[in-house]
């Protein structure tokens, strides 16, 4: 939950820092796909979080990446199952989440 508070606090500094052009860039998609995979978000809390970020200027591409990656996997969940699964499987799950988030972000940018 602490990571969710930190992410929520960071959104106010993150979104205005994006210019009009950078708010819907590939760099923003990649960064927010990574951030979405790392942070914990309670069920259905990602929608108001992304909605608020979009109100502050976030583009549809990075918002799509967050909507896909926030509920899927988080760093604390990977740590919790770390003893049950090998590191290769955990890395595959985390990387897959980020790749799918980036694909969703690119679809959100161009379609």
Q: What SS3 class is residue 42?
A: coil
Over the range 42-62, which residues count as b (16 or more CB within 10 Å of their CB) and which as e?
Answer: eeeebeebbeebbeebbbbbb
Q: What is the pLDDT along the chain (111 residues), one digit of tens a residue?
A: 555 556 555 555 555 555 666 778 899 999 999 999 998 888 788 898 899 888 888 899 999 999 999 988 999 999 999 999 999 999 999 999 999 999 999 999 988
Residue labelled with tokens 């595959």 = 92
pTM over 0.85: no
Q: Which pLDDT belongs to residue 88?
A: 96
Among residues 4, 17, 2, 20, which one has the least CA distance to residue 66? Answer: 4
């Amino acid at each position: 939950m602490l990571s969710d508070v930190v992410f929520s606090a960071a959104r106010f500094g993150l979104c205005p820092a994006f210019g009009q052009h950078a708010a819907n860039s590939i760099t923003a998609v990649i960064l927010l796909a990574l951030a979405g995979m790392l942070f914990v978000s309670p069920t259905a809390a990602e929608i108001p979080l992304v909605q608020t970020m979009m109100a502050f200027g976030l583009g549809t591409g990075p918002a799509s990446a967050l909507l896909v990656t926030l509920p899927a996997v988080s760093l604390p969940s990977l740590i919790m199952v770390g003893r049950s699964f090998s590191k290769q499987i955990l890395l595959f799950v985390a990387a897959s989440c980020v790749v799918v988030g980036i694909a969703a972000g690119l679809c959100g940018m161009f379609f």
